Amino acid sequence: MTGVEVKVEGLTKSFGPANIWSDVTLTLPAGEVSVLLGPSGTGKSVFLKSLIGLLKPERGSIV
């Protein structure tokens, strides 16, 4: 199975005074299935939108 590794380093996102998440660092290995779980309102959609470039984080990088 082929794929692309995704590295997230120090990602921080907020909307005004509301901090969504800060200093997120993780690696999504190539060729593996990853799942993002959590209760409603914890920033899952914001994280995914940042990964695909729809939202710009305040700090950090996605490679």
Task: List CB contacts of 21: < 8 A, sequence separation 6 or more.
Answer: 11, 12, 13, 43, 46, 47
Q: Give residue 15's identity as a one-letter amino acid code.
A: F
Distance CA 35, CA 44 (A): 10
Question: According to the model, what pLDDT value does residue 2 have?
Answer: 81
DSSP string, 18-33: EEEEEEEEEEE-TT--
Distance CA 15, CA 3 (A): 32
Question: Could you report the per-residue pLDDT of 8-51, keeping only the tens digit for each?
Answer: 999 999 999 999 999 999 999 999 999 999 999 899 999 999 99
